[in-house]
Amino acid sequence: MDISFTSSERVSRRSAIIGRHLSQYPAYSLLPIDLSPCISYSPPEGSVKAAFDSQKLRQILDGHDVESREWLFRLMEGSSLFCPQRRGGNRVFVLPDYGQSMDQQREMTMRRIKFLLEHGVFDGWLTGSGHEVELRRFALNECIGLYDHSLAIKLGVHFFLWGGAIQFFGTKRHHDKWLRDTENYLIKGCFAMTELGHGSNVRGIETVSTYDSNTQEFLINTPCESAQKYWIGGAAKHATHTIIFSQLHINGSSQGVHAFIGQIRDPNGNIMPNVRIADCGYKIGLNGVDNGRIWFDNLRVPRENLLNSVADVLHDGQYVSSIKNPDQRFAAFMAPLTSGRVNIAVSSVYISKMAVAIAVRYGLTRRAFSIAPNDAEVLLLDYPSHQRRILPLVAKACAMSISGNYLKKIFVNRSSDTSKMIHIYSSALKATHTWQNMKTLQECREACGGQGLKTENRVGILKGEFDVQSTFEGDNNVLMQQVSKALLSEYISAQKKKKPLEGLGLEHMNSPYPVIPANLTSSAVRSIEFQNNIFFLRERDLLSRYANEVHDYQGQGESKESSVLLSYQLAEELARAFTERTILQLFAEVENSAAGPLKGVLGLLRSMYASICIEEDASFLRYGYLSLGNAVAVRKEVMKLCGEMRPHALALVDSFGIPDSFLSPIAFDWIEANSWACSNTR
């Protein structure tokens, strides 16, 4: 560098060099960038006109108490306790704050219960009588569960389990003393059945109660760690009393499982003497419920606190029961608990309906990719593959709404003669509905893409909230095995008596084997005759196979119990066949009572339900009920049905009767809901 140049001269010299360098290249003009217009939200209602009356379909799917449901929805929407959030313009959504700590969520659950109590939501839940009262209670609890599963479970434990046990296991002295105070929440109840070592096997519980005739009290003890009461909703923080299930010992002789009322906290919330309680801690969901563990150390319970509708202990310690057979006595104790399974079965359907409503609405407004250059991007729900993912879920949600209504109907009309039937149906439908709910939530979460991960959009967070339904109030696999065992018992009994099968819809087995056409046409696949026949064929063949396999194992020296266990694969297939056939027949009955365009839509839904059940169950091919050619025909029909359901998608999910505020931002203007302005006003 020549240091004789001044600073300004050096700058001028460098500028000249750069200028000569650049002048060697031709000048390029900057062309304007052709920007595509920004995506805008277009509500689906503007482009779709319902071909049927969605309110009439709602009446069918809800089944009862539509006005009461609407009243409760409005009540929750109007209270700040239900965390209303303004998202996407003027829309307000209600959603629990899952970001709160466990203690905060539990506190909010109790505050919401207090609010609902003060507004008369629980009036008559335990002190009322009649079918209408019971159905209204089911309906309101379903609506509460649509908002928050923790809130519904907390109420379910208090009213359906604690309160239900007193209603069904107790007698007038218990009803007079406990029910009104329970309904008014002067007492907070829980239900101590499950133990660390025993869940579904209630008969095996290890908690022990002995009678002290001198004081006329029962002494209740937890003899070992595996006998601690576990997962007891309400026990960790709020419950004052509990139903205690224990093995009753009288004069050194065990009389089996009995239920007692025990106090675990005083009115000030202090744990009672001879009771130890620990918290179960954080869970993958339901953190608004204070699940706890309980140990009893010589807890004294008055003799009058034995729930004695089935059996009693007199002053002198004499055990008395009108049911002498221990197995029948145990069954009588367990029969009233079906209310819990009914609750779970119907609430899970409501959640499935909410999930598919969100996914369908999002799919009707979200676009992705274009088929040809310069074409508009395609709506998600216009892709055949997306239709195949979502629309069968709509049909299943409708079908299971109908079966859930049937389950509630037979439960409120229960009698001693129908207890076995109710046990079978409640077990089958609880398992089937809750399994389907989890499948629905997962598919809808994926169908909503990344938006499905956001808590405010509901679908993702609900997977953790509702996963528990597969195992509480009976493990689903165990319940389905009980269904198959009951069917096997009916089958063997009919054969021994040489009488036709009767009840549980099994009458079709008294007719000749149905014949399936060699080459199914589209109209044949959609006919109720074919659908009934193929479902009948599957069920009767699987029941026959199951009975024969159990018999064969017994012939090889296995016990009856072991033979049943070894035949579990056929048992699982049979229970599924029984349940799906039941749902199909219930669906067809509802369809037959409809008229006009609604009847046509119900027929479309029924055909989708039947076809998707066939496609999803390998047993139709495994045992030859369908030829390969006919299986292909059914598969193709599913695609056609998806295309025909597509124009009805919005009206179908509107018929679910779920208020807009209980859905999520992505069900509506998801662009505005995610705008900068909206993000800064949350």
Rg (CA), the chain: 31
* Rounded to 5°, angle at Cα 305 from 301 and 309: 145
- DSSP secondary structure string for all residues of 305-370: GB--SSEEE-TTS-EEES---HHHHHHHHHGGGHHHHHHHHHHHHHHHHHHHHHHHHHHTT-EE--
Q: Which long-range contacts (CB under 8 A, 24 or more apart) does 168-171 make?
A: 168/309, 168/335, 168/336, 169/243, 169/259, 169/307, 169/308, 169/309, 169/310, 169/333, 169/336, 170/307, 170/308, 170/309, 171/307, 171/308, 171/309
What sign has the CA pseudo-torsion 387, 393, 399, 402? negative
Q: What share of the chain is helix, strand, coil (3-state, %, to 5)?
A: 60, 10, 30
User: Rounded distance, CA 668 to CA 677, Å?
Assistant: 17
- Residue 572 annotated as catalytic: no
CA distances from 513 to 392, 509, 534, 535, 537 (A): 29, 8, 10, 11, 7
Structure tokens at 183: 């309904």
User: Rounded distance, CA 278 to CA 230, Å?
Assistant: 9
Q: Identify whether the C-beta of residue 485 lies closer than 8 Å to the C-beta of residue 571.
A: yes
**How many Cα atoms within 13 Å fall on the side-chain side of residue 351?**
35
Helix 476-497 / helix 419-447 crossing angle, nearest 10 deg: 140
User: Rounded distance, CA 260 to CA 307, Å?
Assistant: 6
User: Rounded distance, CA 289 to CA 238, Å?
Assistant: 10
User: Rounded distance, CA 528 to CA 538, Å?
Assistant: 15
What's the residue count for the chain?
682
Q: Identify whether the C-beta of residue 443 lies closer than 8 Å to the C-beta of residue 486.
A: no
Question: Active site residue: 142, 206, 443, 473, which one?
Answer: 473
Q: What contacts 102, CB < 8 A, 6 or more positions away? A: 281, 282, 287
User: Rounded distance, CA 422 to CA 444, Å?
Assistant: 31
User: Rounded distance, CA 653 to CA 646, Å?
Assistant: 12
User: Rounded distance, CA 346 to CA 433, Å?
Assistant: 8
User: Rounded distance, CA 231 to CA 426, Å?
Assistant: 22
Single-letter amino acid, residue 617: D
- DSSP secondary structure string for all residues of 270-311: PBPTTEEEEE----SS-TTS-EEEEEESSEEEEGGGB--SSE
Question: Backbone dihedral region of 63: left (phi > 0), alpha (psi from -120 to 50 degrees) or beta?
Answer: left
User: Rounded distance, CA 561 to CA 198, Å?
Assistant: 19
Which residue has tokens 């009058």?
304
Provide the annotated active-site residues.
Answer: 473
